[in-house]
Structure formats: C-alpha cells, structure tokens
Amino acid sequence: MTINWQALAADYQTDILHDLATLVAIESVRNDDLATPQAPLGEGPAAALKAMLALAKRDGFATKNFDNVVGRIVAGQGPEVIGILGHMDVVPAGPGWDSDPFFLTQKNQRLYGRGTADDKGPTLAAYYALKLLKDQGITLNKRVDFIIGTDEESGWYGMTRYQQTEQLPEYGFSPDAEFPIINGEKGISTLLLTFNATKPALANRQLLSFSSGLRVNMVPQTATAIITGTLPPDWQAVTAAYAKAHHVTIDTTQSVDGQVFTLTGKGAHALEPDAGINAATHLATLLAPWVDDPAGQQYLTTIATYLHDDSRGHRLGIAITDPVMGELTASADLFTYQPDGEQSIAINVRYPQGTDLDVIQRQMQATLDTTATVSIQDPGHTPHYVSAQTPFVQTLLQVFEAHTGQAGHEKVIGGGTYGRILKHGVAFGAMMPGRENVMHQANEYMPLADLIQAVAIYADAIYRLTR
C-alpha cells in the first residue's frame, strides 16, 4: 500500500495550529513553591498535561493521568509495546523576546512561542501522527504507549512516578531533539562550587552582590553585580570597550548601594554552551581586576580563571573526548554571591563514556584545591547509547531518508531526553538537520513546514514499527 504521508499530514495543519496555540498558552514551568497535592509540580505543568490528554480524549484515544505529573495515551494493541515519550513542561521564558512567549505567534512561516521546538510542538506532531493513522483506519499490530511527562527540564519526577506502577516499553523514541536520529546521549550532572562565606576585609572596592542564571540547564543571558567604592577613573571607557569587543550589552546605574552592572549576553541550551554568550563569566571577567576585597576577588577571579570561555572543562582539569560520544562540556549556569551569605556556582556537566561523575568531581576539586568545595548537587544521568546497527534504529533512519532524501546517520548529543529511560530508547526529531537550534533561547520557534513534515515522518515510522 502506497501512502502519501505528507499530503495526509498537511490536511491537519489548521487543527495542529489550534491545538499548539492552546498548549503554548499554558506557562508550564515547574514551580515547586506553588506545588499542591493536586499539582505536585505546580499548576502550570498539571494544566498542560490535562490539556494534552484532553486532546486525546476528544479524538477517541484511551488516556490515563497519573497524579497530574505524567500521562499516557494508548493506541493499537498487541503483546509488544512501542514507547513514544514527550513532555509538556518548558523552561522559563527569560528576557529578550520579540513577542509574547506564551502566545503562539506565526511570522514568516515560523511558529514562535516557548515550547514550540521543545517540546510541545514535536510532542503534538507525534500525537497527530497517531491521530492520522487512526483516522485512516490503519491497524497498529503493536501497542503504542505515548507517555507525556511534565518535568523533563528539571528532575524527571513524573517519569519516576510512572515507573512505580507501570512497566516501560523496552524500545521507542522521544520527539525531543533532532533528525536524523539521536542514539547516544552524554551523562548529565550538576556540580556545585561552594565558597566559604566570610565578611570582607577593608577594601577600596567591594563586591556587594553577584547573581545570574535561571536554570542549571540554561546558559545565563543576564548577570548583575554591585560594587561599592571608587572605581578606576577609566572604568566607563573600559566597560564600553569590553561590551563592543565581546558583542554584549552592559548597562550601568548608580544606586544607594553602589555601582550596578547588568550585562546581557545570549542564552542557550546548556548542552552546547558555545551556542550562547555566558553573561556571568563575562561580567566576572570584566570586574575581577577592580574588586579587591578578599571574598569578592576570590569569587570573580575563580570565574574568570576557570570558567570563562572554556566550555570543554580544560581549565577545570576535567576535559575528555570519547571517539563515539565526543567531548565533555561544562556550562556554569547559576551564580549567587553575598558577602556574608551564599557564595556558589552551579556547573552543568555533560560527559561521554570513559569517565564518571566521581572522577569528574575529584579532578575538579584537585584543580580548585581550597578555593571552593566541589560537591555533586544532582547526579542526573549516566551516558546512554544504542547501537546504530539495531533494526529499530535502522528503521527510523530509513524513514528519515525516505522523507527527506538525505542520508541518515547516528549522532550523540549532550542533551538529555526521555529516550534514555528506555533500554533501547532514542530521540527522533523534530528539528530538521541544519536548522538553527533555538531550544531554551528567547524567540524559540519551529518552522511550520518542519512541523507538518514531522507529522508525516512520525506517522510513517509508527506504521513501519507496528507492522
């Protein structure tokens, strides 16, 4: 039977846009401060999950909601089960948007809004693939469990809850990365540098505060610091020259507490720190030569010496490269400094096979010596790899090639998707090769044509996998 998947997918464009607008409008950022028994991860994630399951109920699928933290949509039947794993939570919007991040804006054939690329858009594309198959009366000879999480961006509590009562499929895919396929994912962990808080000694210029970062998986876009005391006579000229040389914006204002510096760089997903411009490390590098109180000087100098302009961990002594999984990446993402309070830096490390978290911690501690204590804040996930030669991966690559005319090939990323939960799990789309990666950035978008093509690819993939 010859099926024109692309033509069938295009028929759903109006409905997809309507449903995506509904999902994007929900600010589904995990917020434990607003947790309730009915919404353990906050109302936003719970509302987005219920909205997604409501779409499936509307279209006649069997669904189940597990405590408003994870849900399941079931299609097909049979003893063998294929998993599809997506998520409804998003990272905070952050600054720098040209449109409302929680309103679906269509411009120049692009769909703008938080979650359009990660992961509401791709999850909806995979869902519409199931709907397309159902509407065409195509029988699925295997069961498909479409599992929807609500905290993929932080903690994975929902998937932990799911596994307490339900059995996961052995293989499947997550529509939460890029084509042609992601069959390897690096280990992901967070390490915390903690400085001993001490009251500063007498100094000409004191660091009164330093803060930056929204989430530990986002390169910080803005950073703010306050310095008291008399700055060097040329500080304004030096600041302007630094901003121009490094393509950042630096705003300065005088407050009752001192001189306030706010630096704006470029946010990015921590899986590739070089895609962004780390506002915190730039600001620390600018200010370090001026601050001379011991605590503040140590904090800024540590950032400038070990963390600035080095996304591969060379200066921290943790650099490693694996022939299959590539380089380790280190992204300093959360910064807090008060003279007589918390002084910390959270570093997101994504590491290949060939090392482990304990080794990384020891190496980092040896480098920093007594400057700061290195602890494991979140052990996260170990490296995950599925051979490209498995029939499952080969089938997905063949589908990609059939729809794009491009050669399929394996790929390993620093990102973490739900695909790694499954023994033979991979990530499959929905970002097309060569596209700009705007996940976790301001003005996140998904090209409309790519979203529709993803529906066709997913429908064909599910069809072949369930023969």
Please check the confidence at residue 144 and state whether its pLDDT lies above 80.
yes
pLDDT of residue 20: 98
Please check the confidence at residue 52 and state whether its pLDDT lies above 90.
yes
pLDDT of residue 14: 98
Residue 217 C-beta-side C-alpha neighbours within 13 Å = 20
Please check the confidence at residue 293 and state whether its pLDDT lies above 90.
yes
Asked if 142 and 80 touch (Cβ cutoff 8 Å), the reply is yes
| Cα 269 to Cα 176: distance, rounded to the nearest angstrom | 13
What are 329's two structure tokens? 């990446």
Report how far apart, in Å, the C-alpha atoms of 106 and of each of 64, 74, 334, 454 are.
Answer: 32, 31, 33, 18
Vertex 308, ends 302 and 314: CA angle to 5°? 90
Among residues 19, 89, 119, 176, the one annotated as catalytic is: 89
pLDDT bracket for residue 84 (50, 70, 90): very high
Percent of the chain with pLDDT over 90: 94
Catalytic site includes residue 89: yes
Vertex 121, ends 97 and 174: CA angle to 5°? 125
Among residues 19, 27, 145, 152, the one annotated as catalytic is: 152
Hey, which residues does 107 pair with through a beta bridge? 110
Kindly provide the residue ranges of all beta strands, DSSP E only, lying in 245-355, ordered along the sequence: 249-254, 259-264, 268-269, 321-322, 326-327, 329-337, 343-351
End-to-end CA distance of the chain: 12
pLDDT bracket for residue 69 (50, 70, 90): very high
pLDDT, tens digit (0-9, with 9 covering 90-100), for 218-263: 999 999 999 999 999 999 999 999 999 999 999 999 999 999 999 9
Please check the confidence at residue 114 and state whether its pLDDT lies above 70.
yes
pLDDT of residue 155: 86
Please check the confidence at residue 1 and state whether its pLDDT lies above 80.
no
What is the mean predicted confidence (pLDDT) over 13-36?
97
| Cα 53 to Cα 47: distance, rounded to the nearest angstrom | 10
pLDDT bracket for residue 179 (50, 70, 90): very high
Work out the mean pLDDT of the chain and round it to a whole number: 96
pLDDT of residue 212: 98
pLDDT, tens digit (0-9, with 9 covering 90-100), for 184-210: 999 999 999 999 877 666 788 999 999
Torsion of CA 297, 303, 304, 307, to 10 degrees: 170
| Cα 445 to Cα 435: distance, rounded to the nearest angstrom | 11
Please check the confidence at residue 178 and state whether its pLDDT lies above 90.
yes
Asked if 90 and 102 touch (Cβ cutoff 8 Å), the reply is no
pLDDT, tens digit (0-9, with 9 covering 90-100), for 405-427: 999 999 999 888 999 999 999 99
pLDDT of residue 198: 73
- Residue 371 Cα to chain centre, angstroms: 30
| Cα 349 to Cα 344: distance, rounded to the nearest angstrom | 16
Structural domains of the chain sorted by starting position, each given as residue range(s) with its CATH number in brackets:
5-186+384-465 (3.40.630.10), 188-379 (3.30.70.360)
Q: What are phi and psi of 408, to 5 degrees?
A: -85, 150
SS (H, E, C) 283-302: HHHHHCCCCCCHHHHHHHHH
Please check the confidence at residue 376 and state whether its pLDDT lies above 90.
yes
| Cα 382 to Cα 32: distance, rounded to the nearest angstrom | 25
Asked if 224 and 260 touch (Cβ cutoff 8 Å), the reply is yes
What is the mean predicted confidence (pLDDT) over 294-303?
96
What is the mean predicted confidence (pLDDT) over 31-49?
97
Catalytic site includes residue 436: no
Q: What are phi and psi of 4, to 5 degrees?
A: -90, 85
pLDDT of residue 200: 62
pLDDT, tens digit (0-9, with 9 covering 90-100), for 120-137: 999 999 999 999 999 999
Which residue's entry shows tokens 């904090």? 299
Hey, which residues does 212 pair with through a beta bridge? 223, 335
- Rg from Cα positions in the chain: 24
